[in-house]
Structure 1
């Protein structure tokens, strides 16, 4: 018998994926930087407005490239939120730089722009923002602050493809931005990512870093007869089969995101009455932000209530998740970075956050079932008016 289980995530399917993969094989070249990679680059550049997009095998790889491109090195400090994935900090720690963790805003879980300036020291090299749940950080203030202090800005937009701030795509404000196409994201290739290069002066070096530190791209373009080692770098590019799968996803991207937004809005509308009664908190989305429906989360009143709600939903075959262990409290965070202050919002809300199932093919009936069970948990009639 089919299970009634509601999974937390299922990667989206697109009609042309297998067709494009077979074409990539028939083309006789399945290593990176072939036809499908180039088509993905053009698609991302056209839809985001970035100067240059480069596919990578992960967003982690794109962040590592960004750390090299901003010349992060031993003793440099990089300001970032503690409430993020390890890759955000790892990219800079691998270069010997020191992640400096700053608290987040209570409404968006994004880096609190009001706290950044106090964390800046003579050693500060860059600010790395993370657009949590596809909701933008307050980029006007952050970019003005960075300009005033001569700091680079890197955007970890892993969750924010097709999201914007005041009409501008996220990942295109700082000198560099990064995207993720991991299977949990809105648009996927299994593993995969992209580096958005918004400063044209960084493009040539980025292409060298991505190709193991060689000028192989110039060789492939017929600009030189032989290629050689030019700089530090690594093998950051994905295969053509990954790019072929991704291109089919990109072409369906608007539809996939529209469907996720419909799910997000169903949750938000159906659970509004619980927030009005002070029983939980829904995600905050400032007026200047157009999000992409990547994550729908709730904030319970206590950590114990978070645990009990998740257990209740599990009993009803509904998968949920929490999210990050704050990096400043992790073993590696304490070893390689430092916290600027006590980070009370991060510590508190990380223990109360519950993520609900969101994926593009999640039926509306399943979404409403989740809402009904949450209402029942709080002792309310299902979706009570």
Structure 2
């Protein structure tokens, strides 16, 4: 069976985990956490990076820093993972879903402003498949309406929009290092902070509401409870695993892009014949090979293709069920405007196997079976 995903592994992970154990520092904010954070800061240009226990928790931290309050509204796409909305629902806010663009599967930037009300506090663009949203338009809307921009860049590390790294454009950016992502620590994430004024509060919220980070830097003689907060620090063991991959980030990125381009070349004739659609990458975006998907004619055709591939030992999967149609989405959020594309496109999209270590002959086999399904 060709699996849909295999967690990345470079070979140094176990050595670094052993080193963390030998350092006798396996809780948060040790040597490997520092190395990972500095790497992200250097590669993205963000003012501060804080590793977290998940991208979900990074988004929760962003909601705290944006002072989201009960009754506030937060604009986002419905075609996203539940964590995008959860972080704000936990603060008592209302997710306001708007439709997506059918080409990139990202939030339709032309529909955002009409969804703004006096209660709107933030916009959350989700960079689907590592392809950037139309951030110039989004940032302009946010500036004119005094809104926070919190980038859900869970899939966006090593990708960019007009030369700007995803996650480092808005007020806050959130990365994921889940096992399904390009670089992994099993479970983990990172919060990218753009403004100096937010850093101290972020450290306090992340450290159970204390100024412990200042204590470790020698800035205070003891740490105290300063505010509300929680424990968002990942273990050094997780950070050690991640750092082995960040050291090889360029090589991993290159391999994934090569696999992505191979899929495209081998399936392009099928797309030209009008049997499937392939991903669209705007000229101003640089993607990261996070995902290769195709679009089928409809839900029934997709289900049949999934079954056919499974019969041929290939695991392909669909993605999100739009949040506005889920029980919690109906309870906590609302959809602004017309759902022209969100549901329709979500029912057509099929993700093919993509991971570091996937072989070229496996990609050819998968593409060949897709073409066989269509009698091509």
- Superposed CA offset, 1:190-238 (max 9, x none): 0110000011110110000000111111111111122111111100010
Identify the residue that residue 74 of structure 2 maps to in structure 1: 78
Correspondence for 2:223 among 217, 227, 239: 227
2:141 counterpart SS class: helix
Name the Cα RMSD after superposition.
Answer: 0.7
Give, in angstroms, the shift of residue 343 of structure 1: 1.6
Correspondence for 1:308 among 295, 304, 315: 304
Show structure 1 runs of 5+ residues with no match: 381-385
Give, in angstroms, the shift of residue 52 of structure 1: 0.3
Give, in angstroms, the shift of residue 254 of structure 1: 1.1
In 1, the alpha carbon distance for the partners of 2:233 and 2:49 equals 12
Q: 1:1-385 to 2 correspondence within 5 Å?
A: 5-380=1-376
Give, in angstroms, the shift of residue 342 of structure 1: 2.9
1:125 counterpart SS class: strand
In 2, the alpha carbon distance for the partners of 1:221 and 1:229 equals 17
Identify the residue that residue 383 of structure 1 maps to in structure 2: none
Give, in angstroms, the shift of residue 341 of structure 1: 2.0
- What's the TM-score once normalised by structure 2's chain length? 0.99
- Superposed CA offset, 1:84-138 (max 9, x none): 0000000000000100001100000000000001100110000001000000000
1:354 counterpart SS class: strand
Give, in angstroms, the shift of residue 15 of structure 1: 2.1
Show structure 2 runs of 5+ residues with no match: none
Give, in angstroms, the shift of residue 14 of structure 1: 1.3
Give, in angstroms, the shift of residue 142 of structure 1: 0.6
2:294 counterpart SS class: strand
- What's the TM-score once normalised by structure 1's chain length? 0.97
List 4+ stretches of structure 1 deviating above 3 A: none
In 2, the alpha carbon distance for the partners of 1:320 and 1:200 equals 43
In 2, the alpha carbon distance for the partners of 1:337 and 1:229 equals 34
In 2, the alpha carbon distance for the partners of 1:231 and 1:255 equals 42
